[in-house]
Amino acid sequence: MEERLQKLMAQAGLGSRRENEKLIEAGKVRVNGRTAKLGDKADPNKDQVEVNGRLLKLRDNQDKFIYVAINKPKGVISSLDDEMEKGRRTVRDLVPLPGHIYPVGRLDKQSMGLILMTNDGDLAHKLTHPRYGHEKTYRVTVEGKIDEETLNQWRRGIRLDDRKTVPAKITVINQGPNFTLLEIIMREGRKRQIRRVANILGFPVTHLVREKIGPLSLGNLKPGEWRHLTRGEVSALKKAVQSKPARRQKKK
C-alpha cells in the first residue's frame, strides 16, 4: 500500500514529517533511483526508497519505537544539536540510549519541564502540528500582581507576529504583592510565546515549567531525570492524536 514519503520516513525513525519534507525538497530522497518531490508516494513492499544514499528500512513492528519523558532543567537546550556551536548541553545528552530519538516540541533554554523524545515520527507529527491543537499545560510565575482585566486579555488572545494568539485557559494559583503564579493551558506553541506575551502585558516571566503534553504528565521526575513511558501512557497519547484535528482559527 502506497504512503506519502514523509510518512514512511517518519515511521522509519528519521524525524518528524516536517523535517522529512525538508529532505525531500532538498533533493536528498530517491524512489527507485529517481529524485523524489514533495507529494510523492511509495509502496514499502515494492519500491526502493533512499535517503542521503542509504536504503530506507521500515520498522516491522511498533515495539521498536522508543518513548521517553524528560524533565528538562534550565540551561539545557531542547534540540538535538547546539546550532550556535557553543558546546551547550542538549536534551539528547540527558538520555544515554542508543539510536536516533528526537524531541517533540521545544522549550527555551531558561524554561523547565516535560519534553517527550521518541523515534515515532507519525506520533511526533500529530502532537506538534498546529492543526491538531493538542493542549499543553504550564506552571508560570510572573513579576507583579496581575489583574483580572489583563488576564482576560491574555485569555482572549494577544496580537503576536501580526496575528492573534489562540485563546488560552489561565487560572491564578497564588498571588502576592510582587508575583503571580498561573496555570496556563494552550493549544499552540509559537517560539517563546508565553514569555513574549507576558512581556507585552508588562508582567515578565520569572519561572516556567511545562507540566503536561496532552494526557502525558511530568509526574515526579526531577530536573535532568528521564524515564520510559508506560504502555498506558503511549496508548493514551496515540488515542489523543486519533481525535479530530482542532478547527483552524479565523484570521482577524
Asked if residue 244 has pLDDT above 60, the reply is no
Domains in the chain: ranges and CATH = 3-58 (3.10.290.10), 63-131+217-241 (3.30.70.580), 136-213 (3.30.70.1560)
The mean pLDDT value for 79-93 works out to 75
Q: What is the pLDDT of residue 18?
A: 79
Catalytic residue among 108, 122, 147, 161: 108
The mean pLDDT value for 125-143 works out to 87
The mean pLDDT value for 71-88 works out to 79
pLDDT one-digit tens code per residue, 10-24: 777 777 777 889 899
User: What torsion do the CA atoms of 157, 160, 162, 163 make, to the nearest 10 degrees?
Assistant: -30
pLDDT one-digit tens code per residue, 202-235: 999 999 999 999 999 999 999 999 999 998 999 9
Residue type, 136: K
Match 496556563 to its residue by C-alpha cell. Answer: 184
CB 12, CB 5: distance < 8 Å: no
Q: How many CB atoms lie within 10 A of CB 233?
A: 18
d(CA 164, CA 147): 21
Q: How confident is the model at residue 61 (pLDDT cuts 50, 70, 90)?
A: very low
- Let me know if 81 is a catalytic residue: no
pLDDT one-digit tens code per residue, 155-211: 999 999 889 999 999 999 999 999 999 999 999 888 899 999 999 999 999 999 999
Q: What percent of the chain has pLDDT over 70?
A: 91
CB 112, CB 71: distance < 8 Å: yes
pTM attached to this predicted model: 0.74
Residue type, 59: R
Q: What is the pLDDT of residue 246?
A: 56
Q: What is the pLDDT of residue 252?
A: 46
d(CA 149, CA 152): 5
Q: What is the pLDDT of residue 157?
A: 94
